Structure formats: structure tokens, C-alpha cells
Amino acid sequence: MTGYIALTPLDLAWGACLVLINAFLSLILDLGIHRRLLIAASRMVVQLSLMGLVLAALFSHVSPWWTALAAILMILFAGREATARQDRPLGGWWSYGVGTAAISMAATVVTVFALTTALGPDPWYDPRYAIPLLGMVLGNTMNGVSLGLHTLTNGVVLRRAAVEARLMLGATRMEALGPVIRDSLRSALMPVINGMAATGLVTLPGMMTGQILGGVAPMDAVKYQILVMFLLSGGAGIGAVTAVLGGVRRLTDNRHRLRLDHLARGGSLF
């Protein structure tokens, strides 16, 4: 098998019926999420359609500058999404800055590592490989960073008395916040661990399924998926550790005092 089945707008409309069913269920069960569901679905369609046009243009003009520009825009949006819905974000631009810096560093390192070692396209910044790979790594890294920061800030508030007691007894900020840091990193990495444990036995990941539907030999698709899972794990781990440690630095000062006044008031920055 070398071809693939092209989808028509009617085929997509059949799939959209399932979203409408979910919205209908929300309406009759008074869940209150039907509006958000339809907006999210519409936003997804528009975003993917625009991305398709952008990728088509990038693929026809292989340039490191255009690839870098697309990557920067993706990273900025990922940073925004990672920090937009936290209950207790860091104050000011720190929440966006810490999250975006962690995502940028982790996703860039992992993607460049894969492009220059395992995949090795010529040139290594070929957008046909770089952009889709970065997108997958970004999505998983974004989730890890978001979960890590969310658990960190909530944990510090909930365990404030215990943390301050340790600090008064002479513990450093890393020692006092150790349990919160460990919980934050576990929370960030657990989805990756669960995903790797279930892949192949319970689920067939989207990339592997897409390649098989596109005519790629199953074992070749499996190899790509294994590589991607390793990359996703690395991105989530590096990003979560960077974000959580950055958050710890912001929530304490040089005298190892807890600074909850550095948390934002009244919800998210965005």
C-alpha cells in the first residue's frame, strides 16, 4: 500500500457530528460546556487550516530563517497556553516568562538533538521534519510545564505553614520546598509515563496511526513512534524541571524566605 485516502469536506462534516452530539449532551444534562466545546472545535479547525497553509508555504521555501520564525511563534503561543489557565500563577510577566523559557529551552534542545542525530535530514532545519517534530515536542512539553507550575503554586499555598516551619528551622529553600517540588515533577511526568506504558497495548498514537493510514509500513511507523515517545519524555522532563526550579526561585528570595506575594492576585495573567 503506497497511497492514502483523501478526505473531503463531507467526510470532515461526519466527524463534526460527534462534536455536536457532545454539545447536545452538555445542553440536556446542563453541564454548561457546550459553548466552550463548540468554540474550541471551531478554533481547532481554523488553527489547523491556517497551519496547513503555512506548512505548504514553508515546505516550498526551505530556509533556516523561515523555519526559525515559525518555531518562535509556536513557542510563544505554547508559553501562553501553558500559563493561561493556572489557578495561582506567578505575578506579572514571571508566569509567562518562566513557562515560556522552560518550554523554549526544552523543546529546542530535544528537537535539534533529534534532527541532528536520529533523523538527520539534509539540511537539518528542513521544515518538513523540523516543524512537525517541534509541534509534537512542544505540545507535550507545554503540558508538563503547565502541570508542574500548577502543582507547585498550589502546593506552596496549601503547605505554607509546613514550608515556613522548615525555613525557620534553618532549612534551605530547596530543602523546605522539597516535598512540593517532588509532587510537582511527579504530576508533570505522570502523563508521559502513563502514555508510554499504554502505547501499543491500549492505544495507537496519532502519529503512528497517521503514518499507517498514509501508506507507511507498520514497522517503520513503529520506529518513528518509539523515537517520538522518547523525545516527548525528554522534553516534558527537561521543561518541567526547568519551570519548577524557576518557580521556586521566584517564590523565595535570596534569604530563603517564602514570598507568596509574588503570586498573581485574582487569577491568570491572560
Instruction: Looking at the structure, tell me whether residues 97 and 191 fall in a common domain.
Output: yes
Instruction: Looking at the structure, tell me whether residues 75 and 51 fall in a common domain.
Output: no
269, part of any domain: no
Any residues with CB less than 8 A from the CB of 8 and at least 6 apart, and which?
none
Question: Cα(213)–Cα(205) distance, rounded to whole angstroms?
Answer: 12
Instruction: Looking at the structure, tell me whether residues 118 and 163 fall in a common domain.
Output: yes
Lowest mean pLDDT of 107-116, 175-184, 212-221, name the range: 212-221
Question: How confident is residue 2, by pLDDT bands cut at 50, 70 and 90?
Answer: low
Instruction: Looking at the structure, tell me whether residues 136 and 8 fall in a common domain.
Output: no
Count of C-beta atoms within a 10 Å radius of residue 130: 25
Give 203-246 pLDDT, tens digit per residue: 778 778 888 887 888 898 899 889 999 999 999 999 999 999 99
Question: Cα(153)–Cα(161) distance, rounded to whole angstroms?
Answer: 14
- Asked if pLDDT for residue 39 goes beyond 90, the answer is yes
Burial group, residue 203, by CB count within 10 angstroms (0-12, 13-18, 19+): exposed
The 8-class DSSP code of residue 252 comes to: B
Question: Cα(18)–Cα(16) distance, rounded to whole angstroms?
Answer: 5
Instruction: Looking at the structure, tell me whether residues 52 and 67 fall in a common domain.
Output: no
- Asked if pLDDT for residue 101 goes beyond 70, the answer is yes
Does the predicted model carry a pTM greater than 0.85?
Answer: no
Instruction: Looking at the structure, tell me whether residues 27 and 129 fall in a common domain.
Output: no
pLDDT score recorded for residue 1: 46
| Number of domains forming the structure of the chain | 2
Question: Cα(180)–Cα(215) distance, rounded to whole angstroms?
Answer: 47
Question: How confident is residue 3, by pLDDT bands cut at 50, 70 and 90?
Answer: low
Instruction: Looking at the structure, tell me whether residues 40 and 131 fall in a common domain.
Output: no
Instruction: Looking at the structure, tell me whether residues 119 and 197 fall in a common domain.
Output: yes
- Asked if pLDDT for residue 19 goes beyond 60, the answer is yes
pLDDT score recorded for residue 266: 52
Give 119-172 pLDDT, tens digit per residue: 888 899 999 999 999 999 999 999 999 999 999 999 999 999 998 899 888 888
Backbone angles phi, psi at 268, to 5 degrees: -70, 155
Full residue range of the structural domain in which residue 36 is found: 1-60
Q: What is the Cα 11 distance to its own chain's centre?
A: 29
pLDDT score recorded for residue 233: 94
Mean pLDDT over each residue of the chain, to the nearest integer: 89
Question: Cα(219)–Cα(222) distance, rounded to whole angstroms?
Answer: 5
267, part of any domain: no
| DSSP per position, 84-116 | HT-SSPBTTTHHHHHHHHHHHHHHHHHHHHHII
Burial readout 131-154 (b: 16 or more C-beta within 10 A, e: otherwise): bebbbbbbbbbbbbbbbbbbbbbb
Instruction: Looking at the structure, tell me whether residues 125 and 72 fall in a common domain.
Output: yes
Give the residue-averaged pLDDT of 57-76: 90
Give the residue-averaged pLDDT of 79-86: 82
Give the residue-averaged pLDDT of 43-62: 90
pLDDT score recorded for residue 263: 82
Question: Cα(235)–Cα(245) distance, rounded to whole angstroms?
Answer: 16
Lowest mean pLDDT of 44-48, 117-121, 257-261, name the range: 257-261
Instruction: Looking at the structure, tell me whether residues 200 and 131 fall in a common domain.
Output: yes
270, part of any domain: no
pLDDT score recorded for residue 261: 82
